[in-house]
Structure 1
Amino acid sequence: MTSQNPSDSKFINIRKIISDYFRKELIPLLADLRLAIVLLLTIALFSVSGTVLEQGETLSFYQANYPEDPALFGFLSWKVILTLGLDHVYRTWWFLALLILFGSSLTACTFTRQFPALKAARKWKFYEQPRQFQKLALSAEVERGSLESLPTLLAQKRYRIFQDGNKLYARKGIAGRIGPIIVHASMLLILAGSIYGAMTGFFAQEMVPSGETFQIRNIFDAGPWAEPQIPKDWSVKVNRFWIDYTPDGTIDQFYSDLSVLDQSGQEVDRQTIHVNKPLRHQGVTLYQADWAIAAIRVRINNSPFLQLPMAQLDTGGQGRVWGTWIPTKPDMSAGVSVVAKDLQGMLLVYGMDGQLVGTVREGMSTEVNGVTLAVAEVIGSTGLQIKADPGIPFVYAGFGLLMLSVMMSYVSHSQIWALQLEDGSLYVGGRTNRAQVAFEREMVEILDQVQPKET
């Protein structure tokens, strides 16, 4: 005879207590529809905040746009935004925790409600007593009716038929019971894709002059596991950037001719992108998002061409303007300021006293301070938004599956029972989980076609 170790018995009791808690308390709580609705509304609320509030911007941006006094709505300041992580909502621990909790609720509901409902729907049994038909929402007694014609009629209505002598059971629309399970599965797939994308994706911005080659460096927001997604074995060259203007001088569209280069500098892909037509390469997407004036190439008299950078000037919100200073004397004791607002080629030239002294277009020259100033080219910069989200395929697949499963959920699960008694009486009854009126019409049509039993 062997004795049981007290510590083993204690361990078994603790495990049983934990198991009972999960089975009787935690799982029913997670499967509660009210909890799922509250979680879904909370996720939707914070998703809206992530859409309304700019994500991944700099500290100075939030300080300038969300000051403490006056705070937006009386409480929303830059400190609140940064403290709660509202500047990167979709990667905060609490938002991911909400997604995981909602996923756990869906999983619990699937296993405690949907799978048992499907299992019950797949089971079939015969009714052997007339009184059983009284429990059905729709039933009828056909005197001298014949069970023999019923299988053919039901088969024409796409019912699956089970028969044992004088007893019959038929059903159709089992997909209607499978649909809710796939709805939950698709939502779990969407949640998993969202979490995976938040943990492994990144967002970057680059402002690159025409003719320059760059690698993705200026990363604004990235998940904790995003490092492998940031490309290190390829770069991008901006072959050319240009803007199409409307006849009234406003911007119609801007374009970037981009080449993807491998580590040896060989071109592996080349595309011209514009707004709503990005370049995608190895899971990274480059969007045309902005533009700027990077530099101008000028010549003073017969000097070599000089490329001078242009900086954006502070206009107090009155539009975007770029400017630079060009010396007109070798000792830089005199010079002019050149200002441009677009890439159409018109530049304004100001003297050292701030007065307008002339205008000049790209490819032309003008006389200033006793010298000839020729402008060869205005060089534009393309503003690119660069994103990688490895969870996108899972999210798209989840939404596609969700649409399919929602349509499946509208399929009616209909059941029909029949019993032929020895005295010739035929009992027929049925029920459905939706489209009750259509089912009643179908039942009436079937009953009208049941042939009387020959005497």
Structure 2
Amino acid sequence: MAKETPGTPEQQQTPDNPVRQIVDFLGSMQLGIILLLILAVVSIYATLTPYETVIDNVYHTWWFLGIMGFASLNLLLCTVERIGPLKRQALNPNRVMKADTIRKMQVSRAFNMKHDKDAEYDPLDIAASAFNANGLKVSVEEGPEGTAIFGERGKYGYFGSIVTHLSLLLILLGAMYGGLTGFEARNGGWAGGNFFVQEGNFRVDIHDVTMVQEDDPTVRPRVYTDMTVSRAGSPIYEGTVAINEPARFEGTTIYHSTFMYLPIITVRDLETGEERTDLYFEGDRVTIDDQGNYIQIMQFFPNFSMRPDGTPVNVNYDPQRPVTAGILVENGQRSGSVFMQINEPEIIETAAGEIEVMMTDFDVAAVFSIAKNLGRPWLFIGSVLMVVGLYMSFFLFPRRFYAVYDEKKSQLLIGGRGYRNRLGIEQVMERIETEIQDREEE
């Protein structure tokens, strides 16, 4: 029976471990690009979709959080894989180059210079001085061909991509954490009212809503809301909320979003004397009778006026002439428009008799955006790190210069290498050349 002859090392190719193959795939640039493109497309869709719809149907869905999770894992693996080589490249550079290597560098100069031992400075001293004059950190090294000069600057620029990757990772993790633990809601009310936020399991009691008019009545007035937030009867926040003055507690923020005027309307049956008074929002219906007749509240005008073409318009926010505009609907059909002024009754004829509808006053309601996002601090830290990483990447250009003296050819050789910025290396080399020429002329 013939023996099997093992092949050469080139013929014996051991397949990679399956776990290693999976890790390589999850950390690959191709997967990262695909995931970032998907996130970009989803973000564009979300930008063009109503905010309330996006919150529940996109940002809090398992598939969107899953995409962010895989993108975070991809960034983490890619970052870990790059740290070692970049650390060696930045912190443990080759500080000595041979003369032939320097000559072959893309940016290099050769200066014919005799080495006179009795001279005050030798060529390498001149090179070191020129390096120092251009902001390079200089060190004297000993190599196989003798003494060499090494100068560098901006070595931390090598880590710009790492810091940027870490910033993106923090932003993705912060967004995921906020999506898993947070919520966003919208609610509001008027003085004496309250509302309950189911997602946060707390109640908001509104004690007072104060409107302060600006000197210019065409500018939106400032609204201040005194409130108490409680859970199970125990207060967890008391204070005033206004524009740029939100309430903050337990990682939750209540922002003042806007305000609205609420007409107070009384409906009185002139035959029976029965009446009822309620606050109404825009879009509410003021019921006239039990036959389905009603007034649809369309808009409240604090300072009502009419254009020449008959279109109602609000002059400013100063409530000098408050008017509530509505549509009268009788028997399911629109029968006319109604403009209610304070204490000026509108008489509506119905089958059961006359009904008086009158706006007696108006109130102000505040509308709030309620959000909880425990990932927000990580988003902030990630954003700051991104600025730092981009600065390191685009403004801290690593540059290294080498100098040796070729005794055989009586030449001072200087070469430079850069990271992503050859033009910058050329400019520094020109300044070094000028420094050396000036020293030779002295």
Partner residue, 1:436: 422
Is 1:176–2:133 an aligned residue pair? Answer: no
**Is the contact made by 2:265 and 2:357 (CA closer than 8 Å) also made in structure 1?**
no
1:373/1:285 CA distance change after superposition, 3 Å = closer
Alignment of 1:346-425 (within 5 A): 346-347=323-324, 360-365=340-345, 375-379=359-363, 381-410=365-394, 411-422=396-407, 424-425=410-411
Alignment of 1:229-268 (within 5 A): 230=200, 232=202, 235-237=204-206, 239-240=208-209, 255=223, 257-262=225-230, 263=233, 268=238
SS at match of 1:158: coil
SS at match of 1:147: helix
**Is the contact made by 2:188 and 2:195 (CA closer than 8 Å) also made in structure 1?**
no
Amino acid at match of 2:228: V
**Is the contact made by 1:239 and 1:258 (CA closer than 8 Å) also made in structure 2?**
yes
Between the aligned partners of 1:113 and 1:440, the Cα distance in structure 2 is: 28
Between the aligned partners of 1:441 and 1:357, the Cα distance in structure 2 is: 77
SS at match of 1:343: strand
Partner residue, 1:9: none
Is 1:322–2:302 an aligned residue pair? Answer: no
1:142/1:241 CA distance change after superposition, 3 Å = same
Please list the CA deviations of residues 68-108 of structure 1 after superposition, one character each: whole Å capped at 9, or x if unmatched: xxxxxxxxxxxxxxxxx995212222222221222222222
Partner residue, 1:198: 179
1:351/1:132 CA distance change after superposition, 3 Å = closer
Amino acid at match of 2:246: L
1:360/1:99 CA distance change after superposition, 3 Å = closer
Partner residue, 2:304: none
SS at match of 1:180: helix
Structure 2: tracts of 5 or more residues without a match: 1-13, 115-122, 302-321
Amino acid at match of 2:66: A
Structure 1: tracts of 5 or more residues without a match: 1-16, 58-84, 220-229, 313-319
Partner residue, 1:151: 128
1:18/1:55 CA distance change after superposition, 3 Å = farther
Is 1:307–2:264 an aligned residue pair? Answer: no
Amino acid at match of 1:440: E
1:90/1:115 CA distance change after superposition, 3 Å = farther
Report deviation, 1:184. Answer: 0.5
**Is the contact made by 1:292 and 1:383 (CA closer than 8 Å) also made in structure 2?**
no
Between the aligned partners of 2:424 and 2:337, the Cα distance in structure 1 is: 84
Report deviation, 1:133. Answer: 1.6
1:94/1:427 CA distance change after superposition, 3 Å = same
Partner residue, 1:82: none
Question: Could you tell which deviates more after superposition, 171-180 or 182-191?
Answer: 171-180
Is 1:281–2:267 an aligned residue pair? Answer: no
Between the aligned partners of 1:351 and 1:419, the Cα distance in structure 2 is: 96
1:295/1:386 CA distance change after superposition, 3 Å = farther
Between the aligned partners of 2:234 and 2:60, the Cα distance in structure 1 is: 36
Question: Could you tell which deviates more after superposition, 437-446 or 259-268?
Answer: 259-268
Please list the CA deviations of residues 355-374 of structure 1 after superposition, one character each: whole Å capped at 9, or x if unmatched: 66985422444666678765
Between the aligned partners of 1:35 and 1:335, the Cα distance in structure 2 is: 61
SS at match of 2:125: coil
TM-score relative to the length of structure 2: 0.71
Between the aligned partners of 1:349 and 1:121, the Cα distance in structure 2 is: 74
**Is the contact made by 1:124 and 1:169 (CA closer than 8 Å) also made in structure 2?**
no
**Is the contact made by 1:216 and 1:231 (CA closer than 8 Å) also made in structure 2?**
yes
**Is the contact made by 1:297 and 1:375 (CA closer than 8 Å) also made in structure 2?**
yes
Between the aligned partners of 1:357 and 1:449, the Cα distance in structure 2 is: 87
**Is the contact made by 2:265 and 2:278 (CA closer than 8 Å) also made in structure 1?**
yes
Partner residue, 2:38: 42
SS at match of 1:47: helix
1:373/1:144 CA distance change after superposition, 3 Å = closer
**Is the contact made by 1:143 and 1:426 (CA closer than 8 Å) also made in structure 2?**
yes
Question: Could you tell which deviates more after superposition, 97-106 or 86-95?
Answer: 86-95
Report deviation, 1:191. Answer: 0.6
Report deviation, 1:337. Answer: 4.7
Please list the CA deviations of residues 131-153 of structure 1 after superposition, one character each: whole Å capped at 9, or x if unmatched: 22234212222222611122222
Report deviation, 1:212. Answer: 0.6
TM-score relative to the length of structure 1: 0.69
Report deviation, 1:379. Answer: 4.4
**Is the contact made by 1:53 and 1:86 (CA closer than 8 Å) also made in structure 2?**
no
1:94/1:358 CA distance change after superposition, 3 Å = closer
Partner residue, 1:272: 242
Please list the CA deviations of residues 120-173 of structure 1 after superposition, one character each: whole Å capped at 9, or x if unmatched: 222133436322223421222222261112222212222122213521111111
- Bigger share in strand: 2
1:161/1:294 CA distance change after superposition, 3 Å = same
Q: Name the Cα RMSD after superposition.
A: 4.2
Is 1:216–2:193 an aligned residue pair? Answer: no
Amino acid at match of 1:260: T
Question: How many residues matched?
Answer: 380
1:34/1:92 CA distance change after superposition, 3 Å = same
Report deviation, 1:339. Answer: 4.9
Please list the CA deviations of residues 201-252 of structure 1 after superposition, one character each: whole Å capped at 9, or x if unmatched: 11223253443122323x5xxxxxxxxxx153x624162377989x99x996
Partner residue, 1:315: none
**Is the contact made by 1:55 and 1:87 (CA closer than 8 Å) also made in structure 2?**
no
Report deviation, 1:406. Answer: 0.7
Amino acid at match of 2:377: P
